[in-house]
Structure 1
């Protein structure tokens, strides 16, 4: 006798499925499923294939091995009881540029367009495009004491200019320099803006060799200020309304 009946009973338990719910998925009768689980009957090969494929289990495993609960949970890419798998599923190793290795990365990337020269930093992020982590090294993206400060880490997804919109914060590699700016364009080229009012825009003509990483995540070194500009404006408005009502 195969392990099929015992394994599907365990699958049902782990997935929280009744016999009827499980049977319905594979167009089986509940009694037929019960016969499999009680080892009174063996399934047809097409049923074995359907169940194995549905739960991403090899046919050999479902027929010849006593599948453990941890194995069943690990077939789900998110839920697992193995702490090592939890860490692996929740974190991504990201190439990391800082003040010490930025020149080496720039020189290497110009010819290889790879991240192989970079160390990796593990962060709780996911993305659909290659990621690059970059340490903020100046105050150019600070306005009214808010923004990106030295030591903050931004994580950007590799992208092209056509997929960017005005105002996107991007890490940019151009003219042998890696920097962070706010994306904009003119008729003649890219118009990359700092948030700091005293820092002039960087203008780069179209046709220049340039690479963009759209910033999707930010990890702050300092404790953030949670009061928004809108909240401050509303507070000022409320104060003014109270003052007027007293007149």
Structure 2
């Protein structure tokens, strides 16, 4: 709990408040609060929840992110205590796109809220993209032609279910299916219908409670057969000099 201890100590100090004041706000004695800061004790869930509410910061941030490294106001906090790290920009002020390589696809389901995992992703810049949070995901299979197996879909983060546009395509991260790219229709307030453009695949339903992240389709990065499909430290620049970049608008079918 060293990271957690450092975080609450930092938050308390930044507010210039005493341990006694924090303890009073949590409805506990200072003698019980002090071991949380020193790392000698772990708070129960109810106290942890009160701390998150008092400091106006998610439990996930308190436990998993060294908040001394970030401007808290820039962190995107989501429902269920999930987080997205701040939007990164390059030297020219352009948004940077985080690329989830094929080798990290399986690990994304557990690493999406791990700052170290996300920070280690390769990044590129596409100047034509507007403001927003973007991420590139690998496509697998043949369910969504003309996107080929091994290409990448660049998506813009969609925060709310109600922001989904019926008939548009999205990358979904779900608890049961993992990472999928489908055309979506809002079935009701609690579920979505996932539809493949390849009619050989039957539509199926995903409950809202199963959905972790939604990324709206922005463009497709296609691959020449001669180009290695795996994105690594040496291949990102080569990707834009050798690969065919197929740019599609948000008005896609």
Please tell me the TM-score bracket, short chain as reference.
0.3 to 0.5
TM-score by length of 1: 0.47
- TM-score, reference length from structure 2: 0.46
